[in-house]
């Protein structure tokens, strides 16, 4: 594309944009179990209207747009209330869980620079189920990750392993409530107690649980305590645009003590221009997301969220029961909420995700790692609940077909010849594998089964190398 010499007709442009969406996942039909969070047509209309109302307002300068400041104060106050925060607590509205995590890690680093300047190589301990956003933060802020094993059956973090990993350079411990991949809640109270004992910060990643767990708990969901009321927890991330059903991007980073948040804020007046003061990563930011978030929180309310979570919990439990009943499938761990994963015992799990795609379902394949086999992840939302019986029917059919057709299980290891190729390979490795992958990296392949099988066998560092090269090529026109 080149910038057109003359402007195009608005109707033509909108038609083109709508045509581009035809290849996207059809989330409106309730068959998408990831990425999109839909509370219904009325809620969607409210999100669009409230977002558009504040689309051009700029949250950069609260003195010019105090409306954005007021909206953020309200939204953060609601989040702090949900997370049972003390009066000393504070938070910031962010663009998503990744930004919330980046800010938490940056804050931890800068806080320890102020109280422990002798720590020049800071370390953060986290279980192997923790979200990749932490590793992104570690790369951005030059922090060493110290990854600990999880229980091979329950997939919960092991407090004793975390305590053994503490060194004189440790500044923070991370736990999940729950982890995204398998929906498993870590034992937060025990982990937070370790952090407090060793005078460390403790971040609870509740991006996927922060707007779900408080209401699930009221429905009788048995869980570890996880919020800001837990002794030793110092900060918590939570997303509104997941089970809060807000417009993207809407998240929050919360601190039990507002004094800690000071280390998050950036200010600069040492140049020949306007003074910059940013509480979060972004400077200029549309008021649309926070306005839409404020609107949906007020529209749904506590009773509405209780209803949405109740329906979602019932749907999740029904799917899990079916997975346990379908021969050839195995649920991973003992998840109790609306996120969970399952694997195949005697056939290719990636073939199942492709087979379900032919029936219009989007279910998310995940690579194996350490004690976790390759699997399929489901995030169950309110829009999925009415379609659970159809999902189970098609899941049974696909599994039966794959097993009766003799679909082989996944390969156990990468052929030695291919493994040798990965060692000391650069971007040219992608070209070498192009015929196997079925793409030169400039387009999205239709069927991912063979690609996923190959990628699943690779050591993660080689897999990441290929993914970086693929993404680098994909976004070149």
pLDDT for the residue 427: 65
Q: What are phi and psi of 106, to 5 degrees?
A: -60, -40
Mean pLDDT of the chain, nearest integer: 90
Query: Is 145 a residue whose pLDDT tops 90?
Result: yes
Beta strand 251-255 with 235-239: parallel, antiparallel or unpaired?
A: antiparallel
- Which pLDDT does position 429 carry in this prediction? 65
> What's the Rg (C-alpha) of the chain?
23
User: 428-473: per-residue pLDDT in tens?
Assistant: 666 666 655 556 555 666 677 777 877 777 778 777 877 777 777 7
Higher pLDDT, 408 or 128: 128
pLDDT at residue 412, rounded to an integer: 65
pLDDT, mean of residues 321-344: 96
Among 227-231, 330-334, 439-443, the range scoring the smallest mean pLDDT is 439-443
Helix boundaries (H) for 326-372: 349-357
Of residues 476 and 357, which shows the higher confidence score? Answer: 357
Pairing of strands 201-205, 235-239: parallel
3-state helix, strand, coil in the chain (%, to 5): 45, 15, 40
Length of the chain equals: 477
Q: Residues 39, 382: contact at Cβ < 8 Å?
A: yes
Rounded Cα distance, 75 and 70, in Å: 9
Q: What is the pLDDT of residues 167-183, one digit of tens each?
A: 999 999 999 999 999 99
Which residues, 6 or more positions from 393, have their beta carbon under 8 angstroms from its beta carbon?
none
**What average pLDDT score do residues 408-413 get?**
63
Stronger pLDDT, 419 or 465, i.e. the higher one: 465
* Sheet with 201-205: strands ordered across: 90-94, 251-255, 235-239, 201-205, 170-176, 123-127, 144-148
pLDDT value, residue 411: 62
pLDDT in tens, 191-216: 999 999 999 999 999 999 999 999 99
Residue 55 CA, distance from chain mean position = 25
Domain ranges of the chain: 51-295, 416-474
Q: What is the pLDDT of residue 431?
A: 66
Over residues 16-33, the pLDDT tens digits come to 999 988 888 888 888 888
Region 364-369: mean pLDDT is 92
State the DSSP H helix or E strand holding residue 118, giving kind and residue range, or none if neither: none
Looking at residue 117, what is its pLDDT?
96
- Interval 255-269: pLDDT, tens: 999 999 999 999 999
Task: State the number of CA atoms in the 13 A half-sphere of 82 facing the CB.
Answer: 30
Torsion of CA 79, 83, 88, 92, to 10 degrees: -30
Are 257 and 266 within 8 A, CB to CB?
A: no
Q: Is residue 226 scored above 90 in pLDDT?
A: yes
pTM of the full predicted structure? 0.91
Q: Is the pLDDT of residue 119 over 80?
A: yes
At 59-103, the pLDDT tens digits run 888 888 899 999 999 999 999 999 999 999 999 999 999 999 999
What's the topology of domain 51-295?
A: 3.40.640
Residue 467: CB partners within 8 Å, gap ≥ 6? none
């Amino acid at each position: 594309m080149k910038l057109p010499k003359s402007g195009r007709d608005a109707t033509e442009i909108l038609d083109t944009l709508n045509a581009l969406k035809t290849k996207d996942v059809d989330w409106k039909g309730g068959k998408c179990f990831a990425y999109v969070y839909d509370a219904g047509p009325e809620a969607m209309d409210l999100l669009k209207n409230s977002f558009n109302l504040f689309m051009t307002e700029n949250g950069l300068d609260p003195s010019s747009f105090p409306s954005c400041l007021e909206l953020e104060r309200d939204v953060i106050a609601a989040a702090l209330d949900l997370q049972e925060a003390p009066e000393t607590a504070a938070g910031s509205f962010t663009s998503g869980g990744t930004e919330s995590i980046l800010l938490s890690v940056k804050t931890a680093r800068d806080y320890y620079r102020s109280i422990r300047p002798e720590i020049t190589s800071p370390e953060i301990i986290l279980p192997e189920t923790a979200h990749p956003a932490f590793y992104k933060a570690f790369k951005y802020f030059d922090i060493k990750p110290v990854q600990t094993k999880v229980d091979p059956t329950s997939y919960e973090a092991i407090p004793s392993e975390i305590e053994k990993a503490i060194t004189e350079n440790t500044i923070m411990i991370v736990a999940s409530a729950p982890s995204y991949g398998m929906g498993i809640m870590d034992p937060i109270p025990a982990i937070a107690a370790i952090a407090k004992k060793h005078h460390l910060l403790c971040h609870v990643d509740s991006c996927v649980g922060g707007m779900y767990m408080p209401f699930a708990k009221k429905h009788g969901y048995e869980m570890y305590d996880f919020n800001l009321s837990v002794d030793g927890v110092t900060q918590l991330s939570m997303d509104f645009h997941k089970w809060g059903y807000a417009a993207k991007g809407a998240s929050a980073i919360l601190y039990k003590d507002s004094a800690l948040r000071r280390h998050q804020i950036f200010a600069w007046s040492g140049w020949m221009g306007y003074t910059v003061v940013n509480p979060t990563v972004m400077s200029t930011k549309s008021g649309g997301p926070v306005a839409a978030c404020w609107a949906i929180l007020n529209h749904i309310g506590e009773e509405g969220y209780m209803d949405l979570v109740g329906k979602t919990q019932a749907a999740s439990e029904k799917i899990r029961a079916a997975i346990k009943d379908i021969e050839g499938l195995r649920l991973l761990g003992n998840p109790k909420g609306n996120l969970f994963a399952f694997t195949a015992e005697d056939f290719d799990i990636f073939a199942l995700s492709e087979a379900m795609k032919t029936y219009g379902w989007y279910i998310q394949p995940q690579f194996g790692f350490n004690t976790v086999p390759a699997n399929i992840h489901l995030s169950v939302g309110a829009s999925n609940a009415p379609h659970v019986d159809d999902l189970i029917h098609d899941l049974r059919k696909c599994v039966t077909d794959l097993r009766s057709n003799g679909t082989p299980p996944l390969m156990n290891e990468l052929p030695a010849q291919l493994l040798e190729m990965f060692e000391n390979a650069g971007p040219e490795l992608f070209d070498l594998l192009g015929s196997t992958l079925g793409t030169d990296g400039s387009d999205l392949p239709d069927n991912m089964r063979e690609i996923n099988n190959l990628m699943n066998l690779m050591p993660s560092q080689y897999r990441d190398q290929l993914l970086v090269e693929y993404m680098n090529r994909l976004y070149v026109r």
